[in-house]
Amino acid sequence: MSERGLEYTDFVDLDSDAGDDELVCRFRFDHVEDVEFEWAAGAIAAESSIGTWDPGLTTMNEDIREMGARVVDLDESDGEAWIAYPPELFEAGSLPQILSSIAGNVFGLSELEHLRLEDVDFPSEVVEGFHGPELGVEQVKEHVGAGDRAVVGTIVKPKVGLDAEEHARVAYESWRGGLDVVKDDENLASMEFNGFEERVTRTLERKREAEEETGDHKLYFPNVTAPVEEMRRRSDHVVDGGGDYVMVDVLTVGWSGVQDLREHLPPDVGIHGHRAMHAAFTRLPHHGISMLAVAKFSRLAGVDNLHAGAVVGKMEGGRSEVEEIYRFLRSSWHVETVIPVASGGLHPGLVPDVVDILGSDTVVQAGGGVHGHPDGTQAGARAFREAAEAAAVEQTLEERAEDSPELAAALKKWGRNR
């Protein structure tokens, strides 16, 4: 350690292991040529804890030095560093404060050409400071009677443009065809052509009709995304109308908004987390924040369902990455589990692939792959449900289609291609 204070390299301590009570981040980075790899790693640790560019701080003391983050492992060949943070650096139960620390100014360091937060290992004491989800995988599946099959759902399409009555009718046709879940899309809030309160009231009415006619419990995820006070008001309208779920765009609302929503809602009301905007920083392989890290933040904040990738379909996300996210969301972790959602460019012909890769403890949903059915929404919903039923008993879609004209028509239009 420098006599003047803490140089960046003083934050590198490869002879120590992370403590059980420490939060550990795995970073991947590229640095400019005129600094060493170890120095750059130390800069990340320093600037995300107690350090700064000038080691001669007159305000530093020995007690504060003990609170410095430490680089405890390095892999220069892969450009990775593992940094351990003492628990004293974090405010209990505050995702914004934690992220301001581990993913704050460090992304702007001029000596770093790229920086990606790949993973965060939270100690149990930190996890237990958060509310977390309320429902869990088993409760969601039991509510809709999914049994051994995947939960099946749809997004009302087009995303925007339908009025409240048209929206409710599409939802009814989807439920009547056999789907468990209908949700708003990420950019449908309270529009001039489709006001939130009218849409929710009408859609919940049609939900009850579908439940009476089918004998099955159904779920509706209305998008309450808005400034926090308005989110609370919209959520109250959903609950007062008999709704048991809300949807929120977790990244555009922000983590404090999601945490506030979870605390505001009754414990038996679920939160469907949409990840709109995530690819702006998760998609780049060398810079940003991984979707695995976003999934961990979402679970801490309290979502019960989370879009997590589908491997097949139209959305980016490699198989190993998506499988790791799914394993995490279903794992034991001091808070309740989250049921992952596979969505984006799916249709009945892809359902067996999704279930084979990601398992049946999943919500599999399609928009165009339901409403684009040549015989309409109800037929598309029936075809999607039939595909999930077939996957649950390991029956081929071609065999199932022999007794399902809706599925046969879907396969004729979309095929089986991944």
- Residue 157 is among the residues annotated as catalytic for this protein: yes
Token output for 166: 């048209």
- Phi/psi for 24 (5° steps) reads -120, 125
Whether 311 contacts 351, CB under 8 Å: no
Order the strands of the 112-121 sheet from edge to edge: 70-75, 80-85, 23-31, 112-121, 288-289
Distance between CA atoms of residues 220 and 240, nearest Å: 14
Q: Which of 31, 141, 157, 237 is catalytic?
A: 157
Distance between CA atoms of residues 216 and 207, nearest Å: 10
Token output for 28: 């991947």
Distance between CA atoms of residues 181 and 205, nearest Å: 15
- Residue 307 is among the residues annotated as catalytic for this protein: no
Whether 400 contacts 387, CB under 8 Å: yes
* Burial label, 253 (beta-carbon count in 10 A; 0-12, 13-18, 19+): buried
Distance between CA atoms of residues 373 and 314, nearest Å: 18
Identity of the amino acid at 196: F
Token output for 120: 């965060």
Residue 182: count of CB within 10 angstroms of its CB: 29
Closest-CA residue to 414 (of 347, 315, 345): 347
* Close Cβ partners of 217 (under 8 Å, ≥ 6 residues apart): 143, 144, 145, 180, 211
Distance between CA atoms of residues 264 and 131, nearest Å: 11
Distance between CA atoms of residues 134 and 202, nearest Å: 27
Q: Which of 141, 274, 278, 307 is catalytic?
A: 274
Task: Identify the sign of the CA torsion 242, 247, 252, 254.
Answer: positive
**Cα–Cα distances in angstroms (integers) from residue 82 to residues 184, 266, 370, in the given order:** 39, 39, 44
* Close Cβ partners of 185 (under 8 Å, ≥ 6 residues apart): 155, 156, 157, 159, 160, 223, 367
Residues classed as catalytic: 157, 274
